Amino acid sequence: MHVASRTGNGARGFYNLTVPTYAYIARSADGRRVKGRAEAANESAILGDLAARGLAPIEISLTAAVRRGKRVSVRALAASYRQLSELLRSGVPLLRALRILARSKSSPALAVSWGAVADGIASGDRLADAMARDERVFASVHVAMVRAGERGAFLENVLARLATLLEQQADLRGRVLGNLLYPVVLLLVGAGVVVASLVFFVPKFEEYFSKMPELPLPTRILLGTSSFVTGSPWLAAVAAVILVVLAWFTFRSSVVRLALLARAMRLPFIGTLLSSIAVARFARMLGTLLENGIPMLAALEIARESAGNPILAAAIQRAAESVRHGEALATPLAESGFFSEDVIEMISVGESANNLPSVLVRLADTLESRIDRMLATLLKLMEPAMLLLIACVVMFIFVALVVPMMRMSSQL
């Protein structure tokens, strides 16, 4: 029997999910080929269902429906880690605990993933190895921490810490996006006002201005934009979509993103905010890995992949090479210029006192508090900046309409 590979989506922060549906080809007792589809928590469940119906499976595959559908936040995965930790602490055997997660109704796709992990455990795999097969759901950092917990016989603690790590990352992401929501809404409202002016207000002046022999440049720009938007609305919409798509593909380029990030990092306030977010993420990840028994070089590699900032990732890579040759971690990080002096001092003291993991976790807490204050300040600055930008656009429209009238009045 051929079973197609399992699918899932472990894009950072979100996971695609929907009710899992399997397509199957089986042979009945009289030799007929039977095709069909059925919903099931995992492959074992669909096999049991076919056996109960007297069908011998030939091929089972997960349909594309599981790849498209609703999305669940990373908090669902964190909750499943915490639930698994609590089940194991209560004395529930690992395989039975995984089967419980596989029957979850709140997150069907995660239930499918846990069902696949349970199947791996039932066939003799270790938990980390079974999770590693679904790398789009279980990231490498999760697998590494679970593997260390299995080897050190503290799996329950590792799962609890992993749940806390994911929750803290989700909190930080939520605070950043939440603080930026109001300026974005304000900008969209301003753009809506401008478009409404071009569609409904400006065209009323075209007939009046057509009698004038010469118009100022701002007026010609305004009337031309209004004519394009109102005269060819579909063309304007297509042009807007093309611009959005081009911008999306441009920003997907790693070269462009790196260049823009390098420029942003040099800005006085924005650069400090971006570096603080990246360093806080790195410190919490590295501290959590070291606390769970991951060796320094392996922890640095995982933290580098999870940094979310290519400039910081390059600095971590250079630091890992230096550590491999016997240097302290603080020295190469200080040479990168990415870390502030107080952060380097805390890391250096943590290495000297042999309590670097706890120092890194406290450092992440400190930096996240600092990020909250910086985001609050940024929000206070962005609100008047957005209002000023909208006011400038409205003033441009006003001047472009009024100046020709004033010229005509002076001539009369």
Strands 14-17, 56-62: pairing is unpaired
Backbone φ and ψ of 154, nearest 5°? -135, 45
| Dihedral of alpha carbons 292, 298, 300, 301, sign | negative
Residue type, 396: F
- What is the reported pLDDT for 86? 92
- Closest C-alpha to 18, from 3, 34, 39, 32: 39
Average pLDDT, the chain: 79
Q: Which of 37-51, 89-103, 294-308 has the highest mean pLDDT?
A: 89-103
* Residues 370 and 289 grouped into a single domain: yes
By three-state DSSP, how is residue 16 classified?
strand
* Residues 163 and 254 grouped into a single domain: no
* Residues 16 and 154 grouped into a single domain: no
Q: Which of 132-136, 227-231, 358-362 has the highest mean pLDDT?
A: 358-362
Rounded to whole angstroms, the Cα distance separating 329 from 333 reads 6
Asked whether 37 and 24 are in contact (CB, 8 A), the reply is: yes
Check pLDDT > 60 for residue 229: yes
Partners of 2 in beta bridges: 59
Burial of 271 (0-12, 13-18, 19+ CB in 10 A): middle
pLDDT digits (tens, 9 = 90+) for 14-43: 444 344 567 778 888 777 888 777 766 566
Average pLDDT over residues 386-400: 84
* Residues 337 and 274 grouped into a single domain: yes
* Residues 60 and 114 grouped into a single domain: no
Rounded to whole angstroms, the Cα distance separating 362 from 360 reads 5
- What is the reported pLDDT for 410? 66
pLDDT digits (tens, 9 = 90+) for 298-352: 888 878 877 777 888 888 888 888 888 888 888 888 887 778 888 888 888 888 8
Whether 264 is covered by a domain: the verdict is yes
Partners of 22 in beta bridges: 38, 62
- What is the reported pLDDT for 4? 41
- Domain enclosing residue 161, as ranges: 70-168
- What is the DSSP code string of 385-405? HHHHHHHHHHHHHHHHHHHHH
Q: Is the pTM of this model over 0.85?
A: no
Per the structure, how many domains does the chain have?
3
- What is the reported pLDDT for 20? 57
Structure tokens, 245? 């798509």
Minimum mean pLDDT range among 64-68, 204-208, 209-213, 277-281: 64-68
Strands 33-39, 56-62: pairing is unpaired
- What is the reported pLDDT for 3? 41
* Residues 226 and 298 grouped into a single domain: yes
